[in-house]
Amino acid sequence: MPTTDTAPQHALRGLKVVECATVIAAPLCGRLLADFGADVIHVEPPGKGDPLRKFGFTKDGINPWWKHYARNKRFVTLNIPKPAGRDVLIRMLADADIFIENFRPGRLEEWGIHYEDLAKVNPRLIMVRVSGFGQTGPYSSQPGFGTLMEAMSGFADMTGFPDGPPVLPTFALADSFAGFYAATAAMFAVYNRDVIGTGLGQVVDVSILESVFSMLGPNALVHQMTGEVPARTGNRNTTSAPRNVYRTRDDRWIAIAASTQSTAERLFTTMGQPELIEDPRFADNTLRVANADELDPLVGAWIAEQTLDDVSALLYANEVPAGPINNIADLKVDPHAIAREMVVAAPDGDGEPLEMEGIFPKLSRTPGAVRHAGKDIGSDNAEVFAALGLSADEIAALEQDDII
């Protein structure tokens, strides 16, 4: 697995980001920027640190969530609710490009940290605020974790089988969407400041709720036109058929998405049942969706006669969109995943390199790189605070007062 940083020049080299955020959504925004060369300084409270450090499980001193989501950043401790900590933060922000935070709306202001005051010190500062419900609205002051947003956005109500309960994802789906939106919006603001040339920063308000809601498709318009809400359809959908997962003879699973007329016709021909093309139940996509209860058993019976390798080869040869249901063990040996460096080995100090998601998206001239996994709490205190002009004695005094 590749471990070296081969980028001739990272796309975001020279961009300074200060991140006062915890867990996944907002820190993922920072990590995406760090992957492409931004200098992201992750600020944690002294002693306890970011709760992500204790997320899930820790083995041999390694927490996989922390190592993965916190990679490529620098790490300092700072007690920002205290006036002395706030003063140090403002010094850090004086020449920063982006300030990322995910405190409950109003909390920073309670500590005397207002964007209007920060903008007087640094008019170019872009403040990215990530919260469950956004900075405004009747729910804005409520705690908002991704699970709640997956429920409240409509996602869970759409997910699962018709005769079963709503289903929540088993990974940080909502937080990830919010992190991607936050990083994208931050760069919108950088473009406005630096390329359009306004020279001014602004506040970016990202809610996790809206991040998920925006990904669910034209549900509002469908409801306006039909009066219907999306139904749970299991692994089918209401826009094309056949679309499902099917069990193979060797007890594996394969997904098929015959989303266009031509792909459906190629599937029927590959199945050795070209007559299905003329069957009045399956002649076009609208009919296939309406008659999925009759179509799925025909496709499933054909696939059940073959092994995953055999049916995959046959479908690929005939350009039928299909793919095996992989797990991470499958992906780590998949030739395409290997070629695309979907999993890389991140340097981790003196320890063994740690496997994690590779860099994505891929830029041809200024690619990103995984330079190191998430580091120990406060590991960059001396370097970062000295760069602010604090002397060794001042740093020691702040440490003594539990400010850093």
> What pLDDT shows up at residue 5?
56
Rg (CA), the chain: 25
Chain centroid, CA 58 distance in Å: 22
- Positions in the chain short of pLDDT 50: 4, 7
Torsion of CA 367, 22, 111, 78, to 10 degrees: -80
Cβ count within 10 A of residue 226: 8
What CA–CA distances, in Å, run from 307 to 123, 249, 302, 314?
63, 5, 11, 11
Q: Determine the 3-state secondary structure of 246 from DSSP.
A: strand
CB 253 within 8 A of CB 245: yes
DSSP 134-163: -SSSTTTTS---HHHHHHHTSHHHHSS-TT
Kindly report the average pLDDT of the chain as a whole number.
96
Nearest-angstrom CA–CA distance, 101 and 58:
26
Run of H or E residues at 311: helix 308-317
At 2 the pLDDT is 59
Flag whether the pTM goes above 0.85. yes
User: Rounded to whole angstroms, how far apart are CA atoms 172 and 244?
Assistant: 24
Q: State how far the Cα of 232 lies from the Cα of 226, in Å rounded to an integer.
A: 17
CATH for 16-215+337-400 is 3.40.50.10540
| Class of the domain covering 243-247+253-324 | alpha beta
Residue 9 has what pLDDT?
76
pLDDT given for residue 332 in this prediction: 97
CATH fold match for the domains 16-215+337-400 and 243-247+253-324: no
- Say if residues 289 and 240 touch (Cβ distance below 8 Å): yes
Tokens of 166: 């709503």
How many Å apart are CA 184 and CA 265, to the nearest integer?
A: 39
Strand-pair category, 74-77 with 39-44:
parallel
Closest CA to 118 of 206, 22, 201: 201
CB atoms within 10 A of CB 180: 17
Q: How many CB atoms lie within 10 A of CB 208?
A: 33
| Domain regions of the chain by residue span | 16-215+337-400, 243-247+253-324
Task: Using DSSP bridges, classify how beta strands 98-101 and 16-20 pair: parallel, antiparallel or unpaired.
Answer: parallel
139 CB burial (10 A radius; 0-12, 13-18, 19+): middle
* Ramachandran angles phi, psi of 351, nearest 5°: -85, 180
User: What is the residue whose two structure tokens read 């020691």?
Assistant: 396
Which residues participate in catalysis according to the annotation? 175
Angle subtended by helix axes 173-190 and 25-35, to nearest 10: 50
Q: Which two tokens stand for residue 303?
A: 């696939």
C-beta atoms surrounding 45 within 10 Å:
17
